[in-house]
Structure 1
Amino acid sequence: MSFSSLVSDITYRDSDRDDRRSQVSRARSYASTAATSVSISGEVSSQLHGGYSHPLARAWQAERQLTKAMLIYPLFMSDRPDEETLIPSLPNQYRRGLNKLVPFLTPLVRKGLRSVILFGVPLADGSKDALGTSADDPQGPVIQSIRLLRRAFPSLFIIADVCLCEYTSHGHCGILRDDGSLNNTLSVDRISDVAMAYADAGAHCVAPSDMNDGRIRAIKLKLIEAGIAHQVVLMSYSAKFSGCLYGPFRDAAGSAPSFGDRRCYQLPPGGRGLARRAIQRDIQEGADVIMVKPASQYLDIISDAKEIGKDLPVAAYQVSGEFAMIHAAAKAGVFDLKTMAFEATEGILRAGASIVVSYFTPEFLDWLGN
């Protein structure tokens, strides 16, 4: 029994819906058991099809200069359908509701936008609790956005960030023990259930950013058992470092911890050895893409990731603090914005990344031309 099922009687979930989902899950498991029993008992890293099932994922397997295909644009999806609110600490970035999504993306897709990554921002009263139960709510902003985007933009590659920090009342990336420390076992079960809900909704890629130990293997196994591992890319935030560069993101997503910090699960600055071990672990557990975050401050880790995962695409997240600092430097007249953005991004690529998550994506679509 999964953790989500175990706690369903004390959450906001509808029991009938859980029963139906459980029946579908069991049916999928029975259908896939014969085909996947060897994989499950062996190495999950042998499952490769999901990593290149989509045309964009296949393009990511090649190394090249900066192109539109390697850019992923972060979107903050509000549970208020008509919201379009500027994020003051994140220049030119907005929280948007479902009704604003297609009009905003339509011109970007025409310019060549290939991929987005979705972050949910629940704002309704009672939408946050200790278990993050709204993270996989079928009526929540992420699942509704996935379904809408699949209909509106059939060629757009949709990534769902998988974490609980936006949905928990305490703001941490998992489920806590009574003493406030992270319960890794319950957190992994919960995170993997959320990843499955996003995959079921139609996400081409699930990207766990929580940094709990073992979540890549747990998600991969559930994808295998559901019979959809061949069509879902598993992108791991493998080397995610703690630090001060996430402030604007936390303003945007409302995900700042209500107490303490995330140093017990995010990597310590300078922890190069830990980063290498985390990258190796996630590859062994079945990750299709590995990510380093932040990007520009950790070019050595990107280089390590390319060395360790030389046969995998490496992604780098040019985080909110990096983006805001480049804007501030450009405003101060140090260099023009285009020059600074290109230099920062090309440095990331030279270090070994072939995928870049960037808030500069709309500008790059113009700067790179046809």
Structure 2
Amino acid sequence: MARVVTDLVGAQVDLGMRVVLACPPRTPLALAAAALGADVRPWPAGREPGPGLVAESRRIAGLVDLVRPDLVHAHSAKAGLAARLAVRGRVPTVYQPHAWSFEAVDGVTGALARRWERWAARWTDRVVCVSEAERRRGEQAGVRAAWSVVHNGVDARRFATAPDRAAARAALALPASDPLVVCVGRLCRQKGQDTLLTAWPAVLDRVPHARLVLVGDGPAADALRAAAGRPAPSPRHPAPPGGAGPAAVGFAGAVTDPALWYRAADLVVQPSRWEGMALAPLEAMAAGRPVVVTDVDGARESLPPGHETHCLVRPDDPAALGAALAGLLRRPVLREALGRQAQRHVLGSFDVRRSGAAIADVYHELTAAPRPELTEPIPQ
């Protein structure tokens, strides 16, 4: 999600907007947005709702009072919760869930998340979904809102012009010829890397020299390393160059720019359990690589026509995932053709400048519309 926000900030600055971004300080998002020209304000906040939510919401209210924006755009469930509690409709408000909060939880917590999303819609001038599937899921959950669907976009030209496969592998200290599968994303339950590791032995049975590298970090890192038989690196035993080493599974850790990894790969995989529309597959396709994805929200909308046969599998199905990966690794001509088609598809339909212009249209529509007089104060 941070890359989505960073790319959107860049597009908005290019369009001449004044962008004030509130986010946790000294994070990659804060540094990148500042470099792009945003006015970055520190907002100390955790990833999940908790006892600090009231204070976090008050900080947003204070910032809104100080900056006096024309519009507030809240990204993700946590910021959407804090911002809408703070503003309560006094300023035109856009909420972009980037996958619904209730998909991550079950039982009582899931029911509460659905209730909150339905309730908070009263303070939301527009809910922006990144896929039609995400919008439908919100409607099915009872969220009654004014909707816009704006597909995620990426800086397609940057990924398309990254170094070629050989140069990328040399830069990452990776073997030149071994078949390489790359998975880019936060190491967490949502992204499904545990399913990928379960599927990987079946891939090795059919493609013995194949290598898998997980690019990213997150709360599941230690568990995934243990499942792969790869202990966490330490000062005395650092990770090998490129994070791969002699084993069939490697861990690259967090990277600021995944472009080299996409270009080094023969195939990219995103085995998510839920999404709105995942960004990594779009980046990989912009780099000219075919992507195997799970059939979650946004996946079918992001793939080029006809790629479902080879590149789309059910979530939480290691057998289907392994078969799809091995099948493509064993068919290099098909893989290259799919990669070329994928690159043309993203360059034509998913460039961040197109997405930024569509979001700007939403802003202009909302700020130009007359608003009813509200009496509910912004909490201090």
Instruction: Find the structure with the greater CA-based Rg.
Output: 2
- How does the TM-score come out when normalised to structure 2? 0.29
- How does the TM-score come out when normalised to structure 1? 0.30
